[in-house]
Chain A
Amino acid sequence: MSEKRIVLVGQPNCGKSTLFNHLVGFKSRISNLPGTTVKLEKGTFKRGNKIYEIVDLPGIYSLTQGDEAENRTLEYLLKEDYDIIINILDASMLSRGLELTLQVLKLGKPTVVVLNMMDEAQRKGIDIDTKRLSKILKVPVVPAIATHGTGIKELFDTIETQGLSIPCFLDDLPGNIYKEVEKVKNILTGCMSFPSECAYYFFAAKILGKELVGSDFIKDRTCLENLDKQIGMSSNALKQEFSMESSDVIHALRHHTSMAIQEKVITLKRKRKYSISDSIDKVVMHPVFGYIIMAIVYLGFFYLTFKIGSLIEGYFTKPFDLLYTQKHGLLYSLWNATLDGLSGGIGIVFPYLIPLMFFISILEDIGYIPRAAYLMDTLMHKMGLHGKSVVPLILGYGCNVPAITATRIIEEERNRVLTALLVPFIPCSARITVLLAISDKLLGPWFAAIILILNLFVVGIIGKILTLFNKEYSPGIVLEIPSYKIPSLKIALSKTWLHAKEFLFVAWPMLIAGSMLLGVAQFYGIEAIINNIFKPFTQGILGLPHQVGTTLLFGILRKELTLIMLQTAMHTKLSQLGSVMSNAQLATFVVFIIFYIPCLATLAAIYKEFNKKIMFYSILLSTSVATLLAFLTRLLYAWL
């Protein structure tokens, strides 16, 4: 059986991931491109006796060196081994998509073009002559509606029955430009090796258009010198002929070629004046109603998640209660501790994390997230970040680990680091359960509400302070606002699963290991020693009972366990905590728990995504903020 590797290439919001999900579904694996943080989804698709490996490359607007995702995608397409490119276009925005296609068709790989969102194009009154388009591009063109799964059969019929030829589209390099590109190409042929002739043209046009830096790909010094000389001469020649920079010439021609192709293949029926998307946006993006809706979405999503969560939590954790043993001995302690870890994870993942991630996926699918980013952009800009940082922060309420991964959508490294430092200040579902439990039983529901709102201000202030130390001119957000889509249950579920997987395979094992460590510590009575070491801090600064030392230390391993550990440490039940700890102490404790050191799994995620330095910054920052705020809480209660 032969396995062919197919890569999916397309612009953001073209429905590439929808198609991928249709092909691969739950079986997809996320992996990083080697040595980078750019994520790549892979999976297999079986059809008859054929097996395909499908690789979903990040959505990119152009094959240009730019942000991390673009650079890595470009590198992948040029260097990796794959058999077929499926280039997906949003049919309702044909000319823009074609600009990428014209570049893809120079890579020298068998390519099929998929015109996705044909229904959206129809709605806009656009008719596309796919046969004609196929004739112009000299590759098969398959119309599709990925959300419904239409066109997939035809796509693979085309791949399997038509021998895909290797395209080489050069019509966007006419006349003298072609001559100059060819001169550059002739130097390149002696310096690099590509499997096909066409890729040399691609590369030459890219370097001449200053969309690629030659020295990133060529190491030979003589080659580079010759190349530089030729680029200089060709640039001058183009500049004289067009009175434009050579880089602008190459881009402008690509743009005009795409526009010209679009004109040849589409017929505009009556222009639809009224679109549902537009009228929804009149309210959702409105300067007043937009924020009201956002507040309702924000609160509604917590309310629903925790309503659902508290209703079903018991069903997941109860069965574990039967397995606990009362016997004494190291092995029994370990057994109980392991159960703690298992049930703790299950008690968070199923009732809270999965519903939360599901709601977030639905919001993402509908197209609400970029709109929230627009609404929040001004505020975030005042903090020195921009709207895109909102996305990982929202995800952080579920679990901080996938939120750290989600910072990848931010192009600028500086903003990405700052956002990642802010993420741990967003209370994840584990910490929210602690907050809600203590508020519910002891301090009153208003306490939870105040803390959640104060938390937003604190995140804002920390962001502002961080950016003061990291001043950098950032011109601002450029974010596409896609039209609204009807969410698909299958895709929302598989996205939820992808996020939950990160918790299950990264955070959960650490939770269990942490729990076992705690069990051993308790068994050997190491707690007393730890409590004494931390006494100056816990009792001295925060005014807490000294027994909480171990709780706080081991809380780093498992935040949602802090509540259980607190009960063990104080030898009392949750409802009786009020008799051994004052309200001031409880409030101080909760505030500290919410803000202090991110859990071990989050730290590991920060380390993996960034480096050791950023991880230590995060520890230092969160500990100081938590100490300061907890101390202030103590003072506030003393003053009241």
Chain B
Amino acid sequence: MTLFDARPGKLLRVLQIQGGRGVRDRLFSMGLNIGDYIKVIQVAPFRGTFFVENLTNGSKFALGRGIALKIIVEYAE
């Protein structure tokens, strides 16, 4: 499933990041890598932006809906 479909608060593992080099490179270098354990902390109202924490390195991000659709995850609990 994509990050977009994941339930907030659940522990997730990143399986794959789709999309062009631009988006992938950006996410990789900002510290969101394949295999990382992440969690959706909050979703802004009106099907909005995702507030995500990467538990592997402690970084936190705001990710747009389009980006969330490109991140393939699985439940890790």
**Residues of chain A at the chain B interface (Cβ within 8 Å):** 61-62, 64, 66, 92-96, 99-100, 124, 210-211, 247, 251, 255, 281, 285-288, 370, 373-375, 377-378, 381, 386-387, 474-483
Residues on B with C-beta less than 8 A from A211 are 25
Residues on B with C-beta less than 8 A from A482 are 60
Query: Given A95-B57, A377-B62, are A478 and B49 neighbors across the interface (CB < 8 Å)?
Result: no
Flag if B58 contacts A475 (CB, 8 Å): no
13 contacts between A and B (CB under 8 A): A96-B59, A255-B28, A281-B41, A370-B62, A377-B48, A378-B45, A378-B46, A381-B49, A475-B64, A478-B27, A478-B64, A479-B61, A481-B62
Interface size on B, residues (CB 8 A): 35
Given A61-B29, A66-B22, A96-B59, 14 further pairs, Cβ under 8 A: A61-B30, A66-B25, A93-B59, A95-B31, A251-B25, A285-B42, A374-B49, A378-B44, A381-B48, A475-B67, A476-B66, A477-B63, A478-B27, A480-B61
Flag if A251 contacts B49 (CB, 8 Å): no
Flag if B57 contacts A96 (CB, 8 Å): yes
Looking across the interface, which residue of chain B has its beta carbon closest to that of A99? Answer: B29
Flag if A377 contacts B29 (CB, 8 Å): no
Taken together as a complex, chains A and B put the C-alpha atoms of A61 and B57 apart, in Å, by 14
Flag if A479 contacts B62 (CB, 8 Å): yes
Flag if A374 contacts B51 (CB, 8 Å): yes
Flag if A96 contacts B44 (CB, 8 Å): no
Query: Given A64-B29, A381-B65, are A480 and B45 neighbors across the interface (CB < 8 Å)?
Result: no
Flag if B25 contacts A478 (CB, 8 Å): no
B23 within 8 A of partner (CB): yes
Taken together as a complex, chains A and B put the C-alpha atoms of A61 and B28 apart, in Å, by 9
Residues on B with C-beta less than 8 A from A94 are 57
Residue among A61, A66, A477, A481 making CB contact with B64, cutoff 8 Å: A477
Flag if A247 contacts B21 (CB, 8 Å): yes
Flag if A92 contacts B62 (CB, 8 Å): no
Flag if B31 contacts A96 (CB, 8 Å): yes
Flag if A373 contacts B31 (CB, 8 Å): no
Residue among A373, A378, A476 making CB contact with B67, cutoff 8 Å: A476
Query: Given A374-B49, A374-B62, are A478 and B26 neighbors across the interface (CB < 8 Å)?
Result: yes
Residues on B with C-beta less than 8 A from A95 are 31, 57
Flag if B67 contacts A62 (CB, 8 Å): no
Residues on A with C-beta less than 8 A from B49 are 374, 377-378, 381, 387, 476-477
Main secondary structure of the interface of B (DSSP, over half): mixed
Residues on B with C-beta less than 8 A from A476 are 49, 63-68
Flag if B57 contacts A93 (CB, 8 Å): yes
Nearest CB of chain A from residue B34's CB, rounded to whole Å? 8
Residues on B with C-beta less than 8 A from A93 are 31, 57-59
Q: Which of A251, A387, A477 has the most CB of B within 10 A?
A: A477
Taken together as a complex, chains A and B put the C-alpha atoms of A286 and B8 apart, in Å, by 13
Q: Which of A92, A370, A476 has the most CB of B within 10 A?
A: A476
Nearest CB of chain A from residue B20's CB, rounded to whole Å? 8
Residue among B23, B33, B47 making CB contact with A478, cutoff 8 Å: B23
Taken together as a complex, chains A and B put the C-alpha atoms of A288 and B67 apart, in Å, by 23
Q: Which of B27, B30, B41, B46 has the most CB of A within 10 A?
A: B30
Flag if B51 contacts A481 (CB, 8 Å): yes
Flag if B42 contacts A377 (CB, 8 Å): no
Flag if B25 contacts A64 (CB, 8 Å): yes
Flag if A480 contacts B64 (CB, 8 Å): no
Taken together as a complex, chains A and B put the C-alpha atoms of A61 and B27 apart, in Å, by 10
Nearest CB of chain B from residue A121's CB, rounded to whole Å? 9
Residues on A with C-beta less than 8 A from B29 are 61-62, 64, 99-100
Nearest CB of chain A from residue B17's CB, rounded to whole Å? 10
Flag if B28 contacts A386 (CB, 8 Å): no
Residues on B with C-beta less than 8 A from A374 are 44, 49, 51, 62
Residues on B with C-beta less than 8 A from A66 are 22, 25-26
Residues on A with C-beta less than 8 A from B22 are 66
Flag if B26 contacts A387 (CB, 8 Å): no
Taken together as a complex, chains A and B put the C-alpha atoms of A296 and B34 apart, in Å, by 39
Residues on A with C-beta less than 8 A from B60 are 480-483
Residues on A with C-beta less than 8 A from B68 are 476
Flag if B57 contacts A377 (CB, 8 Å): no
Residues on B with C-beta less than 8 A from A481 are 51, 60-62
Nearest CB of chain A from residue B64's CB, rounded to whole Å? 2
Query: Given A211-B25, A370-B62, are A475 and B70 neighbors across the interface (CB < 8 Å)?
Result: yes
Residue among B26, B45, B59, B66 making CB contact with A474, cutoff 8 Å: B66
Query: Given A378-B49, A381-B64, A475-B70, are A480 and B59 neighbors across the interface (CB < 8 Å)?
Result: yes
Residues on B with C-beta less than 8 A from A255 are 28, 33
Taken together as a complex, chains A and B put the C-alpha atoms of A288 and B46 apart, in Å, by 12
Nearest CB of chain A from residue B60's CB, rounded to whole Å? 4
Q: Which of B19, B21, B41, B59 has the most CB of A within 10 A?
A: B59
Taken together as a complex, chains A and B put the C-alpha atoms of A251 and B44 apart, in Å, by 32
Taken together as a complex, chains A and B put the C-alpha atoms of A40 and B65 apart, in Å, by 33
Residues on B with C-beta less than 8 A from A370 are 62
Taken together as a complex, chains A and B put the C-alpha atoms of A124 and B49 apart, in Å, by 27
Residues on B with C-beta less than 8 A from A386 are 64
Flag if B58 contacts A124 (CB, 8 Å): yes
Taken together as a complex, chains A and B put the C-alpha atoms of A251 and B33 apart, in Å, by 10
Residues on B with C-beta less than 8 A from A99 are 29
Taken together as a complex, chains A and B put the C-alpha atoms of A96 and B58 apart, in Å, by 10
Query: Given A285-B42, A374-B51, A386-B64, are A210 and B59 neighbors across the interface (CB < 8 Å)?
Result: no
